[in-house]
C-alpha cells in the first residue's frame, strides 16, 4: 500500500529553530518511552473537559509525530507530513481546525480522508522555557465543531502548561544528585550538549568555556571512608565538599556532583580567562585541602583538580568530562594543586589501559605471546653458552608491542605475576624440548622486581621445574638492579632460595640503577650484565671504557661472571674480549630469534665476528 502524496501546500511548515528544537526533544528523553500515568491523566482530563473522543500528547520528531499519551487513538505514531500537530508548532497559542474537510491544508490528508477520520482539531504547543515547541497537547473529533469557547481555549492552554510543567519536573528529578541535591552527571552532559557549537580558533580566549573537575578524594580513600565509617559519613563528606567548592566558585556558576567525591563545573567568559581561572582553581584547592571533620575526627583525603578548555577537548559532554577527569587524576597522582588536560599524556594513559586490558586475553590466546631467544656467546671461544628468553607480543589490532612498553605496565598491576608465570612455563617447555633433542644450553628468564617481592616465588618456581622435568641449572634468572634496591629483605630471601635450588641469578642492566658497586657484595648473584648503554660505543667512549673496565675488575674480584649486552660492533666485541669480559650478547652476534631460527643459528656453527676472521 502506498500512502497518497501530500501536496506541497499541505506540508507542515518547518519551524525556524528546527535543529535546536529537535536537539531539545532528544534531551528531554521522552520519545519512545513507556506510557506514564501522569501524562495519561492529563489527556483524559482534556478529553473530558473538551468533550471529544480523542486527546493526545504528541511529540513532533524529525519525520514523525509520536504520542507520549493517547486517549481514543489506536496508533502510536504517524508520519510528520500528516501531523496536524506539526502545523500547530508555530502557532502562538492554539491551532483550531473546525472542519478539516473544508481546510485546504488538511482536506486531502489521509488522517482526514481515511482513519481516524479527523474533522475537528484543536492543539496547543508544548513550549520549553526558551520557546522551542516539542509538540502539542491536542483534542480531536470525527465530527466538525464550532470554534472553542474562550473557557475551552483557556482549559487547553492550562493543560498545555500542566503537561510542560510535568515534563520539566520529570527531567529535574532525574538530573539531581540525591546526596547533595546538586545537578548530576546527566544534567552536566545535557547542559554541555546544549552549549553552542565549539568556539572557533579565532574566538578570543574570553569567550571560551572551561570544564573543571574536582576530585575530593582518591577512589580508594572514598571507598575506605564508606567501609570504615559508613555511608552516612561518606555522604556528609560529600555535602561538606560541595559547600566548600560552591563557596569558591564565581557567582552563578553551576556546580555538578558527577560521581562519588567528584564535582565539576563549567567556567565561561571572563571566569575562564587565564588569570581568573588560576585564582578560581587556587580558591577551590585551598577550600578542599583542610581536613573534613566527622564527629570530631579530622579526616584528610588527597584531592586533584583538572581542567580543560572546551576547544582543546574532543567534542561532546562525555569527552569533555573525561578529559577534565583525566587532568584531575594527573593532579592527584603528581600531587599538584591542579593540572591542565594533556592530550599526549591522555593518549598514553588510554593506550596503557587498552594494553593492560588485552594482556589477560593475550595470555589465554594461542598466538599472541611468544618467546624469542637471543644467543649469549663466550668471548674467548666465540661459542654459544646460552640464550636469553625475551617475551614478544603481537597484539591483534596494534601489532607488535615491545616488552619495554608492556612489562613495566604489567609491573604496576597484579598482572605481572601471571605474566611471569606464563613466561617461565613457556621457557621450561622449550628447554625440556631442546634437552630431549640434545640442545643443552641454559636459558635466562627475565623476572620483575615484584616477582621477588612475593613470598612464594621460589617455591612456585621449584614446583614448575618439577612439573616440566627441568633441572634448576638449565635455567637462570635475570633481575634488574632496581629490583634489588626495593623490598630488600624479601628480595634477598627469595634470591637465596633460588640460589639454594641451584638456579643462577644475573644482575641485569647493571650500571643503570643508583646502587654503588660496593652493593654487589651483598647480592647472591652469579653474574653481572653490564647495560647496553655502556657497551654500544665502548670502542670509542673513554668514560664507558673506564666504567666497564672497573666493573669487570670489581665483579671478577667478587667472584661474578661478567656479561656485556648490546654488543653491536666487532670493535666492541674485540674491546670486551681484550678487557676480560666473559660473555657477550647483541645484534652483532644475533638478534633474538624464534625457536626454530635459533636452532638453525646453532646448527650453522660457532659464531665468529667478521672483523676477527682477518
In this structure, the number of other CB atoms found within 10 A of the CB of residue 386 comes to 21
Residue 325 or 446: the one with the smaller Cβ distance to Mg ion is: 446
Residue 271 or 509: the one with the smaller Cβ distance to Mg ion is: 509
Does 506 bind ligand C2E (CB under 6 A)? Our answer is: no
The residue range among 132-140, 165-173, 393-401, 441-449 that interacts with ligand C2E, by the rule CB under 6 A, is 441-449
Among 276, 487, 492, 568, binds ligand C2E (CB under 6 A): 568
Does 446 bind Mg ion (CB under 5 A)? Our answer is: yes
Residue 122 or 588: the one with the smaller Cβ distance to ligand C2E is: 588
**Cα–Cα distance, 194 to 307 (Å, whole number):** 20
| Cβ neighbours for 121, distance < 8 A, ≥ 6 positions apart | 84, 95, 96, 97, 100, 106, 138, 139, 140
The residue range among 296-304, 307-315, 491-499, 564-572 that interacts with ligand C2E, by the rule CB under 6 A, is 564-572
Strands 304-309 and 209-215, sheet pairing:
antiparallel
Q: Is 165 exposed, middle or buried (0-12, 13-18, 19+ CB in 10 A)?
A: exposed
Residue 199 or 409: the one with the smaller Cβ distance to Mg ion is: 409
511 binds, among ligand C2E, Mg ion, none (CB under 5 to 8 A by kind): none
**C-beta separation of 449 from 392 below 8 A:** no
Strands 339-340 and 304-309, sheet pairing:
parallel
Residue 223 or 415: the one with the smaller Cβ distance to ligand C2E is: 415
Q: Is 27 exposed, middle or buried (0-12, 13-18, 19+ CB in 10 A)?
A: middle
Does 508 bind Mg ion (CB under 5 A)? Our answer is: yes
Does 326 bind ligand C2E (CB under 6 A)? Our answer is: no
The residue range among 349-357, 441-449, 545-553, 591-599 that interacts with Mg ion, by the rule CB under 5 A, is 441-449
As measured in angstroms, the least distance from the Cβ of 358 to ligand C2E is 17
Binding mask 396-435 vs ligand C2E (x if CB under 6 A, - otherwise)? ------xxx--x------------x--x------------
587 binds, among Mg ion, ligand C2E, none (CB under 5 to 8 A by kind): ligand C2E
Cis amide prior to 116 (ω within 30 degrees): yes
Among 86, 272, 447, 465, binds ligand C2E (CB under 6 A): 447
The residue range among 256-264, 353-361, 504-512, 536-544 that interacts with Mg ion, by the rule CB under 5 A, is 504-512
Q: What is the DSSP letter of 467?
A: H
448 binds, among Mg ion, ligand C2E, none (CB under 5 to 8 A by kind): ligand C2E
Residue 478 or 544: the one with the smaller Cβ distance to Mg ion is: 478
Report the site for ligand C2E in 519-538 (rule: CB under 6 A): 532
What separation in angstroms does the CA of 611 have from each of 274, 484, 525, 574, 591? 63, 38, 33, 9, 18
Q: What is the DSSP letter of 100?
A: G
As measured in angstroms, the least distance from the Cβ of 457 to ligand C2E is 12
Does 184 bind Mg ion (CB under 5 A)? Our answer is: no
The residue range among 35-43, 439-447, 453-461, 600-608 that interacts with Mg ion, by the rule CB under 5 A, is 439-447
Query: CA 272: distance to chain centroid?
Result: 26
Does 69 bind Mg ion (CB under 5 A)? Our answer is: no
**Cα–Cα distance, 582 to 560 (Å, whole number):** 10
| Cβ neighbours for 96, distance < 8 A, ≥ 6 positions apart | 121, 122, 147, 148
End-to-end CA distance of the chain: 92
Q: Is 242 exposed, middle or buried (0-12, 13-18, 19+ CB in 10 A)?
A: buried
Q: Could you give the angle at which helices 219-229 and 231-248 cross, rounded to 10 degrees? A: 130
| Cβ neighbours for 344, distance < 8 A, ≥ 6 positions apart | none
Q: Is 404 exposed, middle or buried (0-12, 13-18, 19+ CB in 10 A)?
A: exposed
Q: Is 16 exposed, middle or buried (0-12, 13-18, 19+ CB in 10 A)?
A: exposed
Q: By Cβ distance, which residue is nearest to ligand C2E?
A: 586
Report the site for ligand C2E in 123-162 (rule: CB under 6 A): none
Among 258, 265, 391, 530, binds ligand C2E (CB under 6 A): 391
Residue 346 or 508: the one with the smaller Cβ distance to Mg ion is: 508
Among 123, 386, 584, 592, binds ligand C2E (CB under 6 A): 592
Residue 137 or 572: the one with the smaller Cβ distance to ligand C2E is: 572
Binding mask 361-380 vs ligand C2E (x if CB under 6 A, - otherwise)? -------------x------
Cell numbers for 155, please give them: 482549559
**C-beta separation of 101 from 112 below 8 A:** yes
Query: Torsion over CA of 381, 384, 390 and 395, rounded to 10 degrees?
Result: 120
Residue 58 or 446: the one with the smaller Cβ distance to ligand C2E is: 446
Report the site for Mg ion in 162-181 (rule: CB under 5 A): none
Q: What is the DSSP string of 427-462?
A: HHHHHHHHHHTT----EEEEE-HHHHHSTTHHHHHH
The residue range among 173-181, 290-298, 476-484, 496-504 that interacts with Mg ion, by the rule CB under 5 A, is 476-484
In DSSP terms, which residues pair with 69 in a beta bridge? 57
Among 141, 152, 215, 509, binds Mg ion (CB under 5 A): 509
Residue 96 or 450: the one with the smaller Cβ distance to Mg ion is: 450
The residue range among 81-89, 269-277, 342-350, 586-594 that interacts with ligand C2E, by the rule CB under 6 A, is 586-594
Binding mask 477-496 vs ligand C2E (x if CB under 6 A, - otherwise)? -x------------------
Among 586, 598, 601, 607, binds ligand C2E (CB under 6 A): 586
**Cα–Cα distance, 272 to 206 (Å, whole number):** 7
| Cβ neighbours for 520, distance < 8 A, ≥ 6 positions apart | 507, 528, 554, 555, 558, 560
As measured in angstroms, the least distance from the Cβ of 317 to Mg ion is 46
As measured in angstroms, the least distance from the Cβ of 579 to Mg ion is 19
407 binds, among Mg ion, ligand C2E, none (CB under 5 to 8 A by kind): ligand C2E
Helix ranges restricted to H, 13-114: 18-27, 37-50, 84-88, 110-113
Residues that contact ligand C2E, how many (by CB under 6 A): 24
423 binds, among Mg ion, ligand C2E, none (CB under 5 to 8 A by kind): ligand C2E
**C-beta separation of 511 from 534 below 8 A:** yes
Give residues in contact with Mg ion (CB under 5 A): 446, 478, 508-509
Give residues in contact with ligand C2E (CB under 6 A): 374, 390-391, 402-404, 407, 420, 423, 446-448, 478, 508-509, 532, 565-568, 585-587, 592
Amino acid at each position: 500500500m502506498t500512502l497518497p502524496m501530500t501536496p506541497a501546500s499541505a506540508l507542515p511548515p518547518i519551524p525556524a529553530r528546527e535543529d535546536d528544537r529537535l536537539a531539545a526533544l532528544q534531551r528531554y528523553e521522552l520519545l519512545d518511552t513507556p506510557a506514564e500515568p501522569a501524562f495519561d491523566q492529563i489527556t483524559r482530563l482534556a478529553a473530558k473537559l473538551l468533550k471529544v473522543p480523542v486527546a493526545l500528547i504528541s511529540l513532533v520528531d524529525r519525520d514523525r509525530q509520536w504520542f507520549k499519551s493517547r486517549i481514543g487513538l489506536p496508533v502510536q505514531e504517524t508520519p510528520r507530513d500528516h501531523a496536524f500537530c506539526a502545523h500547530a508548532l508555530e502557532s502562538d497559542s492554539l491551532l483550531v481546525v473546525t472542519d478539516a474537510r473544508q481546510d485546504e491544508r488538511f482536506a486531502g490528508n489521509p488522517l482526514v480522508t481515511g482513519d481516524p477520520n479527523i474533522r475537528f482539531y484543536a492543539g496547543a504547543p508544548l513550549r520549553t522555557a526558551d520557546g522551542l515547541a516539542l509538540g502539542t497537547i491536542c483534542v480531536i473529533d470525527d465530527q466538525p465543531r464550532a470554534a472553542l469557547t474562550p473557557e475551552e481555549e483557556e482549559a487547553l492552554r492550562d493543560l498545555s502548561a500542566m503537561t510542560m510543567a510535568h515534563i520539566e519536573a520529570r527531567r529535574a528529578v532525574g538530573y539531581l544528585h540525591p546526596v547533595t541535591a546538586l545537578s548530576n552527571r546527566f544534567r552536566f552532559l545535557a547542559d554541555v550538549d546544549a552549549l553552542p557549537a565549539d568556539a572557533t580558533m579565532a574566538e578570543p580566549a574570553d569567550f571560551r568555556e572551561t570544564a573543571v573537575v574536582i576530585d575530593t578524594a582518591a577512589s580508594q580513600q572514598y571507598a575506605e571512608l564508606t567501609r570504615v565509617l559508613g555511608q552516612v559519613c561518606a555522604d556528609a563528606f560529600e555535602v561538606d565538599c560541595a559547600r566548600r567548592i560552591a563557596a569558591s566558585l564565581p557567582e552563578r556558576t553551576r556546580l555538578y556532583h558527577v560521581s562519588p567525591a567528584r564535582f565539576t563545573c563549567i567556567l565561561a567568559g571572563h571566569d575562564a580567562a587565564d588569570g581568573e581561572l588560576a585564582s578560581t582553581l587556587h580558591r577551590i584547592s585551598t577550600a578542599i585541602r583542610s581536613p573534613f571533620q566527622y564527629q570530631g575526627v579530622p579526616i584528610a583525603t588527597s584531592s586533584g583538580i583538572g581542567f580543560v578548555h572546551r576547544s582543546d577537548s574532543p567534542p561532546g559532554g562525555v569527552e569533555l568530562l573525561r578529559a577534565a577527569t583525566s587532568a584531575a587524576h594527573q593532579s592527584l597522582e603528581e600531587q599538584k594543586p591542579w593540572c591542565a588536560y594533556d592530550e599526549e599524556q591522555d593518549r598514553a594513559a588510554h593506550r596503557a589501559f587498552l594494553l593492560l586490558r588485552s594482556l589477560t586475553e593475550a595470555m589465554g590466546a594461542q598466538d599472541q605471546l611468544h618467546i624469542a631467544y637471543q644467543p649469549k656467546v663466550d668471548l674467548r671461544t666465540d661459542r654459544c653458552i646460552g640464550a636469553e628468553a625475551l617475551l614478544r607480543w603481537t597484539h591483534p589490532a596494534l601489532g607488535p608491542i615491545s616488552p619495554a612498553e608492556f612489562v613495566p605496565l604489567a609491573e604496576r598491576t597484579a598482572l605481572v605475576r601471571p605474566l611471569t608465570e606464563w613466561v617461565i612455563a613457556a621457557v621450561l617447555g622449550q628447554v625440556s624440548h631442546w634437552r630431549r633433542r640434545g640442545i643443552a644450553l641454559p636459558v635466562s628468564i627475565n623476572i620483575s622486581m615484584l616477582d621477588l617481592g612475593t613470598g612464594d616465588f621460589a617455591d612456585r618456581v621449584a614446583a614448575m621445574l618439577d612439573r616440566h622435568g627441568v633441572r634448576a641449572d638449565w635455567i637462570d634468572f635475570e633481575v634488574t638492579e632496581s629490583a634489588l634496591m626495593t623490598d630488600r629483605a624479601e628480595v634477598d630471601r627469595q634470591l637465596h632460595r633460588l640460589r639454594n635450588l641451584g638456579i643462577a641469578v644475573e644482575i641485569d642492566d647493571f650500571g643503570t640503577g643508583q646502587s654503588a658497586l660496593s652493593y654487589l657484595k651483598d647480592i647472591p648473584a652469579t653474574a653481572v650484565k653490564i647495560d647496553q648503554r655502556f657497551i654500544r660505543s665502548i670502542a670509542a667512549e673513554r668514560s664507558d671504557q673506564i666504567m666497564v673496565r672497573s666493573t669487570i675488575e670489581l665483579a671478577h674480584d667478587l667472584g661474578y661472571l661478567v656479561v656485556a649486552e648490546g654488543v653491536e660492533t666487532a670493535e666492541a666485541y674485540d674491546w670486551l674480549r681484550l678487557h676480560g669480559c666473559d660473555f657477550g650478547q647483541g645484534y652483532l652476534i644475533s638478534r633474538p630469534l624464534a625457536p626454530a631460527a635459533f636452532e638453525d643459528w646453532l646448527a650453522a656453527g660457532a659464531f665468529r665476528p667478521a672483523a676477527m676472521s682477518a
